[in-house]
């Protein structure tokens, strides 16, 4: 466990290249963010970007956005392979829920690949529930489940 040495902090502009590289390790090239889309996602109105830092550097991040309908939409959750199964993904989610609650947001939604059983397991443990299947959600190729949780 990294609990004592883990720090969760806000995104800073200097993190961009590391987050881009992590996203490309975590997802296939056709699903990972382009540099431009990541930059937009990190800086758009309502964006919440939180970084998990361990002594070795950035171990993961979460990117979400408070949308016009006042829902928190999780855009990505990434943890580097060498730091997985140590609770970092869960801690990033909990930190996000805390921030959403502070902003009086009561609902969080996300999409997860139908084949991504690891992430589905994490989200189910965090009380996210299936609401619909989005066919061809990832570039017309892979389907996704949309899931929701009341904060």
Ligand X SMILES: CC(C)(COP(=O)(O)OP(=O)(O)OC[C@H]1O[C@@H](n2cnc3c(N)ncnc32)[C@H](O)[C@@H]1OP(=O)(O)O)[C@@H](O)C(=O)NCCC(=O)NCCS
DSSP per-residue codes, 109-120: EEEEETT-HHHH
Coil, helix or strand for 133? strand
Coil, helix or strand for 35? helix
Helix (H) or strand (E) holding 89: helix 88-102
Q: Which is nearer to ligand X, 97 or 104 (CB)?
A: 97
Contact of 135 with 143, CB cutoff 8 Å? yes
- Which of the residues 2 through 61 are near ligand X (CB under 6 A)? 26
| 85 scored as a contact of ligand X (CB under 6 A) | yes
x/- mask, ligand X, residues 87-116, rule CB under 6 A, reads: xxxx---------------------x---x
Contact of 94 with 102, CB cutoff 8 Å? no
Please choose, out of 42-50, 82-90, 100-108, 129-137, the segment that lies near ligand X by the rule CB under 6 A.
Answer: 82-90
| 79 scored as a contact of ligand X (CB under 6 A) | yes
Contacts with ligand X by CB under 6 A lie at 26, 77-79, 84-90, 112, 116, 118-119, 121-122, 125
């Amino acid at each position: 466990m990294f609990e004592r040495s883990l720090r969760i902090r806000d995104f800073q502009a200097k993190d961009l290249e590391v987050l881009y590289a992590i996203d490309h390790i975590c997802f296939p090239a056709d699903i990972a963010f382009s540099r431009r889309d990541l930059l937009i996602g990190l800086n758009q109105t309502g964006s919440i970007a939180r970084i998990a830092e361990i002594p070795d550097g950035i171990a993961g991040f979460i990117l979400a956005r408070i949308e016009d309908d006042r829902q928190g939409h999780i855009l990505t959750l990434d943890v580097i392979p060498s730091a997985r199964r140590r609770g970092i993904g869960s801690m990033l989610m909990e930190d996000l829920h805390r921030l959403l609650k502070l902003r009086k947001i009561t609902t969080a939604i996300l999409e997860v690949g139908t084949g991504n059983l690891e992430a589905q397991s994490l989200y189910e443990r965090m009380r996210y529930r299936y609401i619909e299947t989005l066919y061809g959600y990832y570039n017309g190729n892979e389907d996704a489940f949309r899931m929701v949780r009341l904060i």
